[in-house]
Structure 1
């Protein structure tokens, strides 16, 4: 998952660089992107967790807002520009910040990237507001509102910022192997009604399920608990669901033969139901990754 954590950073910096087109000069844009990447890496502290990196990028905020703030900073630093005056939309501020002699900075560089949301130095008046916001931001995953990730995904078509840019397309792009594993599990369930000949002594749906389950269990996109829940749900439905529903359907008819008849009649359906529930859970957790 190192590649995915790095990709989140690259995507964020690319969005900021794209937003800087037409607002900053090319040299200012390159310097801005370089300093932004350096600041993110410094705050990241070598973390390779996609979840932690996503939280960090959320603290930096909207890349467009960072570009606007950089443009205002450059405009304020320009000779003859009134403090706080922003450049006109589409106009690149023709300014460069001259470094002090001997500080090792190239022309156009600044000593540090502007403060992000949780940097010190804010007015004491805003601290009571920032403390609960930081607590909500840093609390462990799963402690928020129920099905928050699913609701964010449903909102993505109306408000892409609600999902941080994540939707079905980005999930497919970032997790092709994992989405493929979910598709294999679905195919295993869909093969149940066809009654295909067994491979050696193993039913075809069971063989297909084993392939999909192996990919799920080897993936690092889900927590270990989620992997076992999602991959094991079909077998759990087959065994437990088949026993419970088959036992209820036996009714007053005694004997093992009657029970096994009902078990074989419903176990395939319960396997399909278990697969559906497992795939839905894994898909939800993938959206909320």
Structure 2
């Protein structure tokens, strides 16, 4: 979570620095990025919550607009210095939207105490859970591949995939392992190929820090649980009154692969759900 919050800040400052390329001199561009980062950290108050950080960045507005205002401020400051050469030691006057201290944020503006209190309550209610009350609002927000991370709190699918490539690859590998089950593939040494592929994905999941230990074990254990317990239960039901271990094993092998696929689907869905953190 900490990496994701910091990444939002870095992405925002990088966009501003890219927009300043060719508009500001290198030294001006560096100073602008440094002051912007410092102001964001000041408004962030040390928060490591990605949703809170995204709201702070949204209050700063479009990075391109910040660059335009900075360029305008620098141009007017230079013009003022040329006009007032005798008073060169005086600081150049700043326009109301100057980015020397960066744009005023809603919370910074003077307002009666009552207004500030109700404004804060309203912002907290709006920001706690965007789309609350709408069915599957979190899932719809996560599926917004082209969404602005600041509008989705960093929870759109494109941002998740970009920031968690290893975890995404692990889930894809698990799905591939399940899809290989129906094919009559040769053994790799003494192991079925789907099992080898699943083991590779399971190792990545188990060593990932993006999930809690419980979630990791549930994600990789669901296919095994489906294969064993599901195969025993469904195979036993299909045996019916027919006696004999051979009949049971025949039914077990016929359904265990399907149960492994179902378990994999459940496990990957759980891992994806926990990674998206839409609850």
Structure-2-length-normalised TM-score:
0.70
Does residue 279 of structure 1 match 2:262? no
Change over 3 Å in CA distance of 1:223–1:112 after alignment to 2:
farther
Q: 1:128 aligns with which of 101, 118, 124?
A: 118
Q: What does residue 252 of structure 1 align with?
A: 241
Aligned position for 2:37: 37
Q: 2:231 aligns with which of 242, 249, 256?
A: 242
Which of 209, 214, 234 aligns to 2:198? It is 209
More helix per residue: 1 or 2?
2
Relative to structure 1, the CA distance from residue 144 to residue 221 in structure 2 (aligned partners, 3 Å threshold; closer, same or farther) is: farther
Question: Relative to structure 1, is the Cα distance of residues 280 and 41 closer, same or farther in structure 2, using a 3 angstrom cutoff?
Answer: same
| Structure 1 residues 250 and 61: CA distance shift in structure 2, 3 A | same
Indicate conservation of the 8 Å contact 1:238/1:270, yes or no.
Answer: yes
Higher deviation after alignment, 11-20 or 265-274: 11-20
Moved more, 184-193 or 166-175: 166-175
What is aligned with 2:72?
92
Aligned-pair Cα RMSD in Å: 4.3
Unaligned runs of 5+ in 2: 81-88
Q: What is the SS of the residue equivalent to 1:221?
A: coil
Relative distance call for 1:160 and 1:144 in structure 2 (3 A) is: same
Q: 2:127 aligns with which of 115, 137, 141?
A: 137
Q: TM-score, normalised by structure 1?
A: 0.68
Size of the aligned set, in residue pairs, is: 261
Deviation per CA, 1:72-127: give whole Å up to 9, x if none.
7x8xxxxxxxxxxxxxxxx83433499xxx9xx99989785545455585442253
Distance 1:127 1:252, change over 3 A: same
Once the two structures are TM-superposed, the CA of residue 171 in structure 1 deviates from its matched residue by 3.5
CA 1:70–1:173 in 2, change beyond 3 Å: closer, same or farther?
closer
Residue 83 of structure 2 corresponds to: none
Q: Report the alpha carbon displacement of residue 177 of structure 1 after superposing the two structures with TM.
A: 1.6
Partner of 1:88: none
- Unaligned stretches of 5+ in structure 1? 75-90
CA contact (8 A) 1:230 1:282 kept: yes
* TM-fit CA distance, 1:35: 2.0
Distance (Å, rounded) in 1 between the aligned partners of 2:124 and 2:32: 26
- What is the 5 A alignment of 1:101-250? 112-116=101-105, 121-123=110-112, 124-135=114-125, 137=127, 147-157=136-146, 162-163=151-152, 167-250=156-239
> Could you give the per-residue CA deviations for residues 60-81 of structure 1, whole angstroms, max 9, x where no partner exists?
3155457657977x8xxxxxxx
The verdict on how the C-alpha distance between 1:68 and 1:173 changes in structure 2, with shifts beyond 3 A counting, is closer
Aligned-pair CA distance for 1:138:
5.1
Q: Is the 8 A contact 2:16 2:63 kept in 1?
A: yes
Distance in 2 (CA, whole Å) between partners of 1:170 and 1:214 is 24
Distance across 2 between alignment mates of 1:60 and 1:134: 16
